[in-house]
Amino acid sequence: MSTAAPTATNALQVTDPRTGKQYSLPIQDGAIRAADLRQIKTGPEDFGLMAYDPAFLNTASCRSKITYIDGDKGVLEYRGYPIDELAEKSTHLEVAYLLLHGELPSKAQLAQWTHDVTYHTIVHANVGKLIEAFRYDAHPMGVLQSAVAALSTFYPDARDIKSPENRRLQMLRLIAKMPTIAAMAFRHRLGLPFVQPNNDLSYTGNFLSMLFRMTEAKYTPNPVIERALDVLFILHADHEQNCSTNAMRAVGSSHTDPFSAVSASIGALYGPLHGGANEEVLRMLAEIGSVKNIPDVIKQVKEGKRLLMGFGHRVYKNFDPRAKIIKKLAYEVFEVTGKNPLLDIAVELEKIALEDEYFVKRKLYPNVDFYSGLIYQALGFPFEMFTVLFAIPRTAGWLSQWEEMLNDGEQKIARPRQLFMGPAHRSYVEMARR
């Protein structure tokens, strides 16, 4: 971080044509401070210049040391470590530790961390009753969001967000209980009794057990599937200031408890333009039904009649490095589960889209959601579970960003400005005169 005093070369020289006045706005780390614009006024009554940036296209809302993305080069790094190395060599729990603590754990630290997370996997029996109260066909994202919000009532101590030890306890609870609640939401839809956590299994192994265990005395997860799910969790663990993380930071900035803030993030992730896209991709592939229908779909997309779900990204304009890893992983999983019949449609769709001028010009590439759903479906998950499988690992990212935000002395309650375009002051009109 540069701290040099502003000079002509590290400051933006601005002349306001309205007044002819000149201003020097310091540039630090490639940015000017939007608040520095406020000194640019036409007179004492003027509020000062603002930056108008709907959807935050060009606004940095924080300084962060967690996740680095170079969208033009297709680079994604957690705490400096490239995503492909982590996907190959690490585990989700280790990555969660890395995101939260900034460094990879030693062997002893990882053992302690794994123990601590494992210790908190069980939920209060009333959480089960709450989930049972949902309709049989309740969308599991809605169930997850509600159950996580409800956890704030089970752990009122979570409101003390000033204590680092207390924050750590709540973070452990959240990372530990997300798979438990997700599995309960899954089984509720099927009318199956809940399966208690088995703490002898890995994070994803235990999750698979809570999802799929039936009457067997001992459930042993398939190691290829257990590892594939763990890799998918690594790939989804954080992605800097995306929509749901921004929700986590914005809601958390009011100093609410982390269960309420994570619940808000789950709501943001649910949307089809964000995490909900993985579900939409599979619905789209199923609807396309056959390779021969692809040209028609591409035509509709180009006419602006529909989006190609799983394509495009606000940040990646070259390729999404996660999509590359997932595509390879899909073939490994299909060795065990058998090929997902929708794969051929996805591969052909990708091929045609990548050659088409519409997509090339707009730099639209497959994103993380394009192939993940194919794997989830092959693993036996219904469409509705796909975004839940995104929310579980992203919890580590949300919490890391929340922790960073709370420790950032520059942060305050998130509260954007607006440009008011409504009617000018006017008096109330009585009903009889309208």
What is the rounded distance in angstroms from the CA atom of residue 299 to the CA atom of residue 1? Answer: 48
Rounded Cα gap, residues 419 and 51, in angstroms = 10
For the CB of residue 362, give the shortest distance to ligand ACO in the complex, in Å.
4
Segment interacting with ligand ACO (CB under 6 A) among 30-38, 167-175, 176-184, 305-313: 305-313
- Looking at the Cβ atoms of 36 and 369, the one nearer to ligand ACO is 369
Cα separation, 237 vs 95, whole angstroms: 8
Assess 273 for contact with ligand ACO (CB under 6 A): yes
314 forms part of the interface with ligand ACO (CB under 6 A) = yes
The CB-of-143 to ligand ACO minimum distance in angstroms stands at 21
Cβ distance to ligand ACO smaller for residue 252 or 310: 310
Candidates 25, 27, 294, 307: give the one binding ligand ACO (CB under 6 A).
Answer: 307
**Secondary structure element (H or E) that encloses residue 15, with its range:** strand 11-15
- Reply yes or no on whether 274 is catalytic: yes
Q: What is the dihedral of CA 126, 132, 133, 136, to 10 degrees?
A: 170
Percent of the chain as helix, strand, coil, to the nearest 5:
55, 5, 40
Tell me if 336 contacts ligand ACO by CB under 6 A.
no
Distance CA 31, CA 85 (A): 31
310 contributes a contact to ligand ACO by CB under 6 A: yes
Q: Answer yes or no whether residue 237 interacts with ligand ACO by CB under 6 A.
A: no
Q: Does 309 bind ligand ACO (CB under 6 A)?
A: yes
Pairing of strands 75-78, 81-82: antiparallel
313 makes contact with ligand ACO (CB under 6 A): yes
Helical segments of 271-320, H only:
277-288, 294-302
Which amino acid belongs to residue 350?
E
Q: Which helix (H) or strand (E) holds 25?
A: strand 22-26
**Nearer Cβ to ligand ACO (113/398):** 398
> For the chain, what is the radius of gyration of the CA atoms?
24
Query: Which tokens in the block code for residue 172?
Result: 């452990």
Among 362, 380, 407, 417, binds ligand ACO (CB under 6 A): 362
> Is 115 among the residues known to form the active site?
no
Residue numbers 392-431 binding ligand ACO by CB under 6 A = none
Catalytic residue among 92, 188, 239, 313: 313
364 binds ligand ACO, rule: CB under 6 A? yes
Residue 425 among the catalytic residues: no
Strand, coil or helix: 309: coil
As a whole number of angstroms, the distance between CA 246 and CA 253 comes to: 10
Q: Phi/psi at 64 (nearest 5 deg)? A: -140, 145
Range in contact with ligand ACO (rule: CB under 6 A) among 144-152, 163-171, 176-184, 270-278: 270-278
Residue 387 in the binding site for ligand ACO (CB under 6 A): no
330 counts as binding ligand ACO under rule CB under 6 A = no
Contact 152, 158 (CB under 8 A): yes
Any residues with CB less than 8 A from the CB of 25 and at least 6 apart, and which? 6, 11, 12, 14, 32, 33, 36, 37
Q: Which is nearer to ligand ACO, 123 or 277 (CB)?
A: 277
Alpha-carbon distance 300 to 307, whole Å? Answer: 8
For residues 83-142, which are near ligand ACO according to CB under 6 A? none
The smaller minimum CB distance to ligand ACO, of residues 149 and 368, is found at 368
Q: Is 277 in the site for ligand ACO (CB under 6 A)?
A: yes
Q: Residue 397 Cβ, how far from ligand ACO at the closest point, in Å? A: 12
Candidates 124, 274, 356, 408; catalytic one: 274
Residues that bind ligand ACO (CB under 6 A): 273-275, 277, 301, 307-314, 362, 364, 367-369
List, by residue number, the catalytic residues. 274, 313, 369
